[in-house]
């Protein structure tokens, strides 16, 4: 069977794609591939100087790329709301939202709103952004929300509703696992709520990829993992397939096809049984709405209709 590569991305001309964390690593490669196929790509980044460098880098390899920058700090709900307002002012339609940005295993820090950094950035920031932009997607045929999770959703992963912000005792690996499990719970619940609409929700994971995300790895672990990791261009393929493959279906999860899903070419993979717990999905959704103050234009009433 032919391996799925960027050569199989259909023409993206006329599509508006927003990619968070697009200034480096997986997000940069995702933005580059989409732009090379004709999409108007918005690089939603926290650091505009790094974003400008990313635009220049993409333009060197794809001179006709249609790119723009949007300032977005997922660790600040005020920034998320401002970015959503800017984007909705510019675009009547959004075809693709790639929730890619993330942090992994940092020392305990909090966002501007007091959330533990990994949960606040990886999940709550993207939850809020998606909810604020979704009305620009619902009437667009083939529109998709793609959220990047991780094999970390299996490692020490649980949703600690009694201490979501890790104020009692912080374990950075478990906190990352919580945030990546939350990405999947969010995707599956969103897809259920999108039933009957033209938008679908999918997820992807990059396997072991050599990106800046690993900058907080302990030295010994970094030396062990780095030789096994694939480059960011390969790591971005599951996201790109989820975003563009005409045969991809809402609720699917893409990852590498190699041993242990650590590297390789994208295929549909399975996530943990916990990630498919519908009660857990609904409970996290309700808590996320409460913490962010963002409600979605699709709800349980529409879901059940």
Residues with catalytic annotation?
A: 176
Burial of 216 by CB count in 10 Å (0-12 exposed, 13-18 middle, 19+ buried)?
A: middle
Return all residues near 124 (Cβ < 8 A) that are at least 6 apart: 77, 111, 115, 288, 291, 292
Cα–Cα dist 90/290, whole Å: 28
Q: Kindly provide the b/e burial profile for residues 110-120, where b requires at least 16 CB atoms within 10 angstroms of the residue's own CB.
A: ebebebbbbbb
H or E element at residue 59: helix 48-61
Cα–Cα dist 20/183, whole Å: 14
Is 20:59 a contact under the CB 8 Å cutoff? no
Q: CA quadruple 288, 294, 300, 305: dihedral positive or negative? A: negative
């Amino acid at each position: 069977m032919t391996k799925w590569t960027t050569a199989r991305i259909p023409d993206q001309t006329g599509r508006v794609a927003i990619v968070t964390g697009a200034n480096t690593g997986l997000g940069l490669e995702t933005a580059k591939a989409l732009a090379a196929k004709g999409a108007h790509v918005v690089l939603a980044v926290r650091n505009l100087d790094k974003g400008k460098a990313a635009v220049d880098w993409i333009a060197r390899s794809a001179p006709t790329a249609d790119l723009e920058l949007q300032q977005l700090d997922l660790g600040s709900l005020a920034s998320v709301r401002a970015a959503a307002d800017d984007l909705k002012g510019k675009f009547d339609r959004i075809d693709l939202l790639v929730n890619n940005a993330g942090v992994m295993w940092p020392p305990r820090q909090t966002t501007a709103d007091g959330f533990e950094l990994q949960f606040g950035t990886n999940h709550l920031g993207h939850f809020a952004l998606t909810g604020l932009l979704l009305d620009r997607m619902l009437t667009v045929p083939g529109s998709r929300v793609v959220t990047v999770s991780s094999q970390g959703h299996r490692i020490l992963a649980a949703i600690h509703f009694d201490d979501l912000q890790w104020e009692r005792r912080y374990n950075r690996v478990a906190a990352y696992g919580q945030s990546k499990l939350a990405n999947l719970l969010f995707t599956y619940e969103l897809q259920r709520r999108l039933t009957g609409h033209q938008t679908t929700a999918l997820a992807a994971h990059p396997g072991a990829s050599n990106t800046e995300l690993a900058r907080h790895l302990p030295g010994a672990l970094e030396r062990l993992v780095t030789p096994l990791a694939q480059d960011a261009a390969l790591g971005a393929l599951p996201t790109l397939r989820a975003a563009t493959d005409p045969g991809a279906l809402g609720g699917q999860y893409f990852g590498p096809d190699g041993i242990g899903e650590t590297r390789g070419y994208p295929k549909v993979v399975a996530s943990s049984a916990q990630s498919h717990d519908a009660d857990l999905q609904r409970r996290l959704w309700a808590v996320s709405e409460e913490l962010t103050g963002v409600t979605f234009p699709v709800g349980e009433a529409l879901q059940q209709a």
